[in-house]
Amino acid sequence: MSARMGKIAESTAKLLSLEGKVAMITGAASGIGRGIALRLAEMGALISVLDIDAKRGEETATEIRSQGGEALFNKCDVRSAADCRRAVETVIEKRSKIDILCNCAGIAIRKDVVDLTEEEWDRVLDVTLKGIYLLSHEVVPHMIRAGGGNIINIGSGWSLKGGPRAAAYCAAKGGAVNLTRAMAIDHGKHNIRVNCVCPGDVDTPMLRSECTQLGEDAQTFMREAANRPLARVGTPDDIANAVLFLASPMSSWITGVALVVDGGGLA
């Protein structure tokens, strides 16, 4: 490698480095959340893995540690204010700070408003939208005291357009984008950046559960999901890389945005 290329590589690594940062990630037991946890750990962050699924959540933390990273798991139902408070207090007690909060937890129930029950509506909104509020409510004061921080919410392509038989999910994800904007306005003065990543169809257990809910053939479902300019379904790594960009110094003047990562699906 030439000296010039070495300098470029060093500069790029510095811009993307999360060395010494503490990152809390919800929904990190599987799918997109797990991918984000692994990527941020790879770039030097200590990861606080939050999920209601204790077995798979601990597996994510164990995998990070096996690769030389630092991680701790906290079982957390993001619908519960008490759970969110305990999770944040645990990290603050052990590490004194939370630099990055990634609100990834979410569920999709594929029904229209006629078929959707009130309990199902509440569950989708509470996990997918209220969870963002509850964790942010606990984390933001610590970020203010620390002089800044970084929040990345996970939205959806359906944050920005409607989708069939997904009324509660579309409502929750649409709310995530506008909540992101409101938080960016409120907390820019505290040096807290708040952004939203809006994935298209990503091959995860959640997407495959939607296939099952709709009673569709899995191969047909995934083939139709790949009908976009880049002609493939996304991977958790695709989304994790976008989150890394927004969590890193490389995006230091970006806040309040909805970054669409969908292979051109909304183009």
Residues catalogued as catalytic: 169
CA-based nearest residue to 195, from 267, 146, 241, 243? 243
* Tally: H helices and E strands in the chain: 10, 7
Can you tell me whether residue 72 is helix, strand or coil?
strand
Question: Are 263 and 230 a contacting pair, CB within 8 Å?
Answer: yes
Per the CB < 8 A criterion, the answer to whether 88 and 142 are in contact is yes
- How many Cβ atoms sit within 10 Å of the Cβ of residue 107? 17
Which of helix, strand or coil describes residue 227?
coil
Q: State residue 71 phi and psi, 5-degree precision.
A: -155, 150
Q: Which residue has the tokens 């990543």?
A: 197
With the CA atoms of 178, 184, 187 and 190 taken in that order, what torsion angle do they form, in degrees rounded to the nearest 10? 170
Question: Which residue type occupies 104?
Answer: C
- Between the alpha carbon of residue 239 and those of residues 199, 251, 265, the distances in Å are 7, 16, 14
